[in-house]
Amino acid sequence: MQLKYGAQTTQRRDDPTMRAFRRDRFGQFIHWGLYALPAGVWRGETYDFAAEFLPKSANIPDADWQALAADFTVDRFDAAEWARTAKAMGARYVTVTAKHHDGFCLWPSEYSDTTVAATPHGRDLLGEIVAAYEAEGIAVHLYYSVLDWHHPDWRYRIESADDEASFARFLTFAQNQLRELATRYPTVRGFWFDGTWDESVKANGGWTLEVERMLKELIPGVLVNSRLRADENGARHRDSNGDLMGDFFSGYERRLPDPWDRSMAEHDWEACMTIPQNSWGHHASAAVAATRKQPAELIEQLAHAVSLSGNLLLNFGPMGDGALPAFEVEIAREIGDWMRANGEAIHGCGMAPGWDYPGWGYYTQNADTGATYAIVTRMPVSGVIKPQAPAGTSIRSVRALATGEEVEFARLDDQTISIPVPREARVPIVFALEAEREQAPAPSQEVNPDVA
C-alpha cells in the first residue's frame, strides 16, 4: 500500500549516530518533574499508581498542581552527581523528561507558562543536565510528552470544528517547543516521544512525520523513537504495511520480548524499564517500594535485551529536592560493579547469530571481535551449563570474564561443551567463548535413526 505518512524507508539506519546508539546498549531514563515532590501522596492520602499520574489519580485541579513549582527549589540537585552515577553504572546515554504529561517544562520555554522559570530559582535544569552528562561523555536524548494535561488546546479526540481548531493550535505549540528544544540543545542525540496514543494524535500522522523531518533538519542524524509516529490510517510505531516508523522500535515498556524471539534483531529497538513495578516518577509509598527489582534482575533484563540486539533504558526517578534516592544510588553501584567486570559482554554486543536460546541465560556477541559471551542468569541446579556453538564451529577456549581466568571444560561433541559454574555467584556470571570453524568436516557415519 502506498502511504504518505508511513515509514520513509525500509532500510535500517547505519550512520555514525545510529551505530553509536546501537553500541551503547545501556541507557539511563530520568523521570523528574513536579510529580517528584508529592511522590504519590496528596493531602495525606497515598496513591500507589505511578507518581507522575498523581494529578489524575487524586483528581487534582491543574492550578493546584502547577503551584508545586514554588516548592521545586531543588536544593540538593547536582547534575554532575547524577551524571557520575550514570557513568559509574555503565550507562552510555540518558533520556530525560523535558516535559511530561503535566506540561511542566524543565527548560524555560517561551511557549509555556509552567516551566522552571516559575520556580524560585528559575534555573534551566534541563540545560544543566545536558551539560553535565555530555561532560561525562554520555549522550543525551530528550523525552517529550505530546499529551499535555495543562495546555487548554489539548484534545483527546476531535469531535467538533472547535476541537479541530484547538488541536491545530496545540500541534503548533508542540512543534514550537520541539524546535525550541532542538535549537537550545543542538548537541542532543535523540528525541523520545510519548503521549502519542490518543485519537487526536493518531488522526495527525502527517504532523508526526513533519516533526520527525524538522528535528532531523535542525539536528542532522538525530534519533527519533517509533512512539512519535502514526501514518494516515492511525497505525502507530509500524505503518499500515508493517514497516517501522522512526529509527528504533520503542514499544517494549516494562517488559521484554517473551518468548525470546530472534526476529527482534531485524530492527533496532529499545525497551524501557522501571525499578518498581509501575512508577516512573519518585514514589514514597512502601507498597511501591516493595515491588523494586533486584540489581541481578535488572542485569538479567539488560542481557536479555542485548541478546536480541536491543537496548535497555533503565529508569531513575530523582526526588523533588533533586537528590537521587539512596536505593537508586545503591542499585546503580551494584550494576556498575557488574558492568566494570562484564560490560564487554554488553557494550558493542548484540545477538549471537546461530547460537540457540539456552535455557540458563543469554548469549551475546561482539560482531567486531567475534567474541561470544554466555551470560548465566538462571543457574541450572546441576551446576553445569552446556553451551552449543553453531553447526560447523567448535568452542576452543572459555574464559571467566570477571577474573580473566581460563576455565576448564569438558567436550561433549564437536559443537557442545560442558562448563561447571561456581554455585555461589549472586549476579550473572559471564563466560567469554572463543569458537572457530571446524577445520575438516566430520566424516559422515551411519546414525541410529531413533536417536537422531
Work out how close the CB of 420 gets to ligand JFZ at its nearest, in angstroms, rounded to a whole number: 41
Burial class of residue 33 in the structure, from the number of CB atoms within 10 Å of its CB (0-12 exposed, 13-18 middle, 19+ buried): buried
Select 101 or 338, whichever has its Cβ closest to ligand JFZ. 101
Work out how close the CB of 39 gets to ligand JFZ at its nearest, in angstroms, rounded to a whole number: 14
Which residue from 190, 184, 82, 70 is spatially nearest to 127, judged by alpha carbons? 184
Burial class of residue 341 in the structure, from the number of CB atoms within 10 Å of its CB (0-12 exposed, 13-18 middle, 19+ buried): middle
CA distances 430 to 103, 374, 397, Å, are: 44, 6, 14
What secondary structure letter does DSSP report for 293? P
The tally of CA atoms less than 13 A away on the side-chain side of residue 191 is 33
Q: Is 30 in the site for ligand JFZ (CB under 6 A)?
A: no
**Pattern 187-206, binding to ligand JFZ, x per CB under 6 A?**
-------x------------
Work out how close the CB of 381 gets to ligand JFZ at its nearest, in angstroms, rounded to a whole number: 35
Q: 3-class SS at 67?
A: helix
140 neighbors 134 (Cβ within 8 angstroms): yes
Select 47 or 338, whichever has its Cβ closest to ligand JFZ. 47
Work out how close the CB of 98 gets to ligand JFZ at its nearest, in angstroms, rounded to a whole number: 12
Q: Is 52 in the site for ligand JFZ (CB under 6 A)?
A: yes
Amino acid at 368: D
Amino acid at 343: G
Q: Is 32 in the site for ligand JFZ (CB under 6 A)?
A: no
What secondary structure letter does DSSP report for 383? S
Q: Which of 110, 217, 253, 405 binds ligand JFZ (CB under 6 A)?
A: 253
Q: Which of residues 145-184 bind ligand JFZ (CB under 6 A)?
A: none
Q: Which of 7, 37, 50, 142 binds ligand JFZ (CB under 6 A)?
A: 50
Work out how close the CB of 278 gets to ligand JFZ at its nearest, in angstroms, rounded to a whole number: 9
d(CA 347, CA 67): 43
Cell 499535555 belongs to which residue?
Answer: 148
Work out how close the CB of 377 gets to ligand JFZ at its nearest, in angstroms, rounded to a whole number: 24
Work out how close the CB of 272 gets to ligand JFZ at its nearest, in angstroms, rounded to a whole number: 5
Residue count at the site for ligand JFZ (CB under 6 A)? 7
**Pattern 266-285, binding to ligand JFZ, x per CB under 6 A?**
------x-------x-----
d(CA 294, CA 289): 12
Select 102 or 344, whichever has its Cβ closest to ligand JFZ. 102
Select 49 or 260, whichever has its Cβ closest to ligand JFZ. 49
Select 66 or 366, whichever has its Cβ closest to ligand JFZ. 66
Work out how close the CB of 403 gets to ligand JFZ at its nearest, in angstroms, rounded to a whole number: 37
Which residue from 443, 365, 431 is spatially nearest to 400, judged by alpha carbons? 431
88 neighbors 335 (Cβ within 8 angstroms): no
Select 29 or 170, whichever has its Cβ closest to ligand JFZ. 29
Estimate the share of the chain in helix, then strand, then coil, as percent rounded to the nearest 5: 30, 20, 45
Work out how close the CB of 302 gets to ligand JFZ at its nearest, in angstroms, rounded to a whole number: 17
Which residue from 438, 435, 439 is spatially nearest to 417, judged by alpha carbons? 435
Q: Is 299 in the site for ligand JFZ (CB under 6 A)?
A: no
CA 153 to chain centre: 30
Write out the residues near ligand JFZ by the rule CB under 6 A: 50, 52, 194, 251, 253, 272, 280
